[in-house]
Amino acid sequence: MTELLNLTGKVAFVTGATRGIGLETARGLGKLGAAVVIGSRDAQKGQATADQLRKEGLTAESVKCDVNSIEDHAAVYGFFEKNYGKLDILINNAGILLDEESVSVQIVNRTSTLPAETLRETFDVNFFAPIQLTQTLLPLIRKSEAGRIVNLSSVLGSLTLHADPTAPIYSFKTFAYNASKTALNAFTVHLAHELKDTPIKVNSIHPGWVVTALGGNKATIDVVEGSRTSIIAATLPADGQTGGFFHLDDQLPW
């Protein structure tokens, strides 16, 4: 298992971090010494989450961030520029699953009837928002000695596995969600290539099937274990990989 680095002096921003994987990722990074900033659509929930982490002895703040709001992106940039002058770790954690009816009772492929509005709303949050936020914050990440960008993807974004009848996910054809994660993986590959001659590393991760509001109560691992891959990708050493797709230390097929 990858040995995690000490993050003292680092600052990390986690979107969608008031619950689930995002909260546990923030907590885990804080325990490694990072100053963690909670991103939340609801400013009060974000503040309450930061208060709780501080009670646990961690360094934590919060900032309002509706990932769909360009105005919030600009405000987040201003927050980090004023208070830290840099950003070391960006965890694009916020995401939605709207085609839940496809798996709520039994697995049903609804690709041919899925409303375009569901696709658009899913892509807005899962694809366009992390791209726009990353582009906004990248000048601050470039000021880090070792910037890390972690995109929360899913094994359900793997076209290789979706085309393989023997793969465990073969039947899970939640089209909007899956396609948005495939597209996010493409962003990872392209941005990592653009930044390959810099100290910045960009990776997609699959957290596992985690018991969360999104993952449901039939999932197989808890949020602590589900946060581990994000933390590994956020703490990669200088010789760590960029432009990859991982679960824990295992590389996944695109």
Q: For residues 9 and 204, what is the distance between their CA atoms, to the nearest angstrom?
A: 24
Q: Which two tokens stand for residue 52?
A: 């709780």
Q: Which two tokens stand for residue 20?
A: 């689930």
From 77, 84, 170, 177, the catalytic residue: 177
Asked about 77 being catalytic, the answer comes back as no
Q: For residues 49 and 58, what is the distance between their CA atoms, to the nearest angstrom?
A: 11
Cβ within 8 Å of residue 122, ≥6 positions away: 96, 97, 98, 99, 176, 177, 179, 180
* Rg of the chain over all Cα atoms, to the nearest angstrom: 17
Q: For residues 53 and 14, what is the distance between their CA atoms, to the nearest angstrom?
A: 13
Q: Which two tokens stand for residue 160?
A: 């290789």
Q: For residues 30 and 155, what is the distance between their CA atoms, to the nearest angstrom?
A: 27
Q: Are 12 and 5 in contact (CB under 8 A)?
A: no
Pairing, β 245-247 against β 250-251:
antiparallel
Cα 86 to the center of its chain, rounded Å = 19
Angle at 218 between CA 215 and CA 220, to 5 degrees: 80
Beta bridge pairs of residue 148: 89, 201
Q: Which residues are catalytic?
A: 177
